Structure 1
Amino acid sequence: MTAPFTCRVITDVSELAALAPDWWELWRQSPTATPFQSPAWLLSWWNNLSDGDACVLAVHFDRRLVGLAPFCCERRSRGRFARLMGFPVTDYHDFLIAPKLEEPILALLSSRLEDVDFWDVMELAELPPDAHALRLAIPRGCNVTSARASACPVLDLPSTPDELPGILPPRKRRALRTAHNRAERRGSLQVRAADRSSAFDMFESLVALHRHRWSSRGEPGVLADSHVQQFHRDALPGLAAANLLRLYLLQIDDHPAAAYYGFMHRNQAYGYLTGFDPAYAFESPSVVLLGYVIAESICEGAHKFHFLRGREPYKYGWGARDCLNTYRVFHRIGVNSHDITRQA
């Protein structure tokens, strides 16, 4: 079954970068791909946040890239540990596989993973319900354990923005009206959408607002790390070029009040990060902006809005329901996986 296919291990990062055009083509073909599997996201992650060696399984058929399993591997005191690139900033992990070739490619990946020597323990974390990696067969000589991972609340969207109030909980409808009224009393409202020329400036506004929000609570926030900030900056051009990036800034009387950073792909919207100025807390600018973004997502054809990882109460306030990721850990028989994974 797997004879027509070839699978090689890429360890040279420059070779991986050179694969980007074929990688993009495979990503575009894959019906389950998210922005988190794109070259823009993962190559930027590699350049800024990786802490190991590249061990990428690339599957070709007749010189065409049809499968990609991008692992990052580390040698630890008790063994070799591998996990998919993107940790911990990626909400949905998976392999990339060309449509209608899932079965033979998954079989080949399982067979190849049996033979390679870059892992004793392999972690497949944050796999969404439609992930290819959920169906990866256990390589011979290995065991697997599975568990629930993060909850990622998802809001099912109506066909038109006019129908949006009808699916929102009554309390959220009232809160949205109140936030709009308060914000309009505070000043003139304007929502700006970033394009390629303004994306960097708008991202800096997001960073500042996010910092203000979390420092007011005495906490650092997820953008406190300069390497994480640079990872996102480096990803912006590729995300924008692929029309994945959605950056919005809400201004009240020309002052930045709230910012939104997310993605749109096919009929799925992904809300990754927000920030707001605590000086406008009474006006709830994040509520105003998120309502605007969700409506815009519907106009673009989104069927679902992904709030991504975490069970923050505000997500359920919009009517979102949990979608559970899965965590799979493979380990070679005879290897103490606990000793290796706890070093992560």
Structure 2
Amino acid sequence: MTAPFTCRMITDAAELAALAPEWWELWRTSPAATPFQSPAWLLPWWNNLADGEACVLAIRTGKRLVGLAPLYCERRAQGRLVRLMGFPVTDYQDFLIAPTLEGPALAVLRSHLTDADFWDVLELAELPPNASALRMPAPGGYGERTANASACPVLGLPDVFDGPPRVIPARTRRALRTARNRAERRGSLQILAADRNSVLESFEILVALHRQRWNSRGEPGVLADSRVRQFHRDALPALMDAGLLRLYVLQIAGHAAAAYYGLVHRNQAYGYLTGFDPAYAYESPSVILLGFVLDEASREATREYHFLRGREPYKYGWGARDCWNKCRVFHRSKASCHDIARRD
């Protein structure tokens, strides 16, 4: 017989960090979990990028952790805005819920949120289509607004690896062969996979390449913020230890021409960040590296490759199709929803 469910709020950073072993266990069993809900991602986020107060809801049956809503609260002049941890560097957000217990766990969470007095607007953004948070009943007495959030193009991969994925359009396969031929004329190609000893060095190469690429366009890029860079430096070793990280550097004639930062969990791969040296633009090193990544993903029996947020044309050139995240916003009044949840 299942013990009664309880819901407790965690507000202390040390207590949140101490939850990590149970958090990992829940994450490993949660059907909808992505690397973005793991302690390896969210604890470094909290230490480096949090702009508010923790209000993490831990659901238990007996002593067992069966649900986790990693929330935090921003206090604004118009009221208290509560969001899922990870904003804005996280592409997929969600609760963690133990399998077979989703219904009762979400009911307990909904009841707690209905009675709680720590929020005026609750914004559950960037929820992928299979997110548990999409199935939580609305807290009683609150209005709700639901809308599409970001498009996250996804490429389906074949069940069996038999060479480069045939799902890639012929035009892109030709472009990939052309890029390799051009690069090989310039010098030998080598793709280096980061390990525990080289992960931070490889990340610094990515930072430099990303900066070069975006500076050439007169833009700073997403790694311009020192807090974001430190967040990744803290997250990468833990992601590596958990087997979730894929970090590669492509060298042409011994020079770093492109770098790739991605994640893998179960049979899903996620392309998070890339960078390349504009001096090698003619050789299209990012195309070469992404072709390699998709080959490796197929070898690992990956079923889907997620290009993550953004509708950049190159993603569709690889055969990806739009998959839309959702956003649910609960509020006391329409006015407070508009005023409090508005991005600065």
Q: TM-score, normalised by structure 1?
A: 0.97
1:148 aligns to 2:148 (yes or no): yes
Extract unaligned runs of 5+ from structure 2.
none
**What percentage of aligned pairs have identical amino acids?**
71
- Contact 2:154–2:304, Cα closer than 8 Å, also in 1: yes
Extract unaligned runs of 5+ from structure 1.
none
- Contact 2:3–2:61, Cα closer than 8 Å, also in 1: no
1:13 aligns to 2:30 (yes or no): no
**CA deviation string 1:291-319 (max 9, x = no partner):** 00111011111100000000000000000
- Contact 2:3–2:62, Cα closer than 8 Å, also in 1: no
Q: Specify the SS of the correspondent of 2:56.
A: strand
**CA deviation string 1:235-272 (max 9, x = no partner):** 01110110001000000111000000010100000000
Q: Paired residue for 2:40? A: 40
Q: Paired residue for 1:168? A: 168
Deviation at 1:161, TM superposition (A): 4.0
1:263-274 correspondence runs (5 A): 263-274=263-274
1:187 aligns to 2:193 (yes or no): no
Question: Equivalents in 2 of 1:254, 1:60: separation in Å?
Answer: 53
Q: Specify the SS of the correspondent of 2:87.
A: coil
Question: Equivalents in 1 of 2:193, 2:63: separation in Å?
Answer: 40
Q: Specify the SS of the correspondent of 1:220.
A: coil
1:123-272 correspondence runs (5 A): 123-272=123-272
- Contact 1:165–1:173, Cα closer than 8 Å, also in 2: no
Q: Specify the SS of the correspondent of 1:36.
A: helix
Question: Equivalents in 1 of 2:227, 2:311: separation in Å?
Answer: 26
Q: TM-score, normalised by structure 2?
A: 0.97
Q: Specify the SS of the correspondent of 2:217.
A: coil
**Residue correspondences, number:** 344
The one-letter code sitting in structure 1 at the alignment partner of 2:194 is: A
Q: Specify the SS of the correspondent of 1:264.
A: strand
Q: Paired residue for 1:90? A: 90
- Contact 1:2–1:107, Cα closer than 8 Å, also in 2: no
The one-letter code sitting in structure 1 at the alignment partner of 2:302 is: A
Question: Equivalents in 2 of 1:337, 1:252: separation in Å?
Answer: 51
Question: Equivalents in 1 of 2:327, 2:91: separation in Å?
Answer: 12
Q: Paired residue for 2:74? A: 74
Q: Paired residue for 2:107? A: 107
Deviation at 1:3, TM superposition (A): 7.2
The one-letter code sitting in structure 2 at the alignment partner of 1:10 is: I
Taking structure 1 as reference, are residues 120 and 335 closer, same or farther at Cα in structure 2, changes over 3 Å only? farther
- Contact 2:158–2:165, Cα closer than 8 Å, also in 1: no
Q: Specify the SS of the correspondent of 1:302.
A: coil
The one-letter code sitting in structure 2 at the alignment partner of 1:198 is: S
Q: Paired residue for 2:331? A: 331
The one-letter code sitting in structure 2 at the alignment partner of 1:34 is: T
Deviation at 1:11, TM superposition (A): 0.5
Question: Equivalents in 1 of 2:102, 2:165: separation in Å?
Answer: 40
Q: Paired residue for 1:50? A: 50
Q: Paired residue for 1:309? A: 309
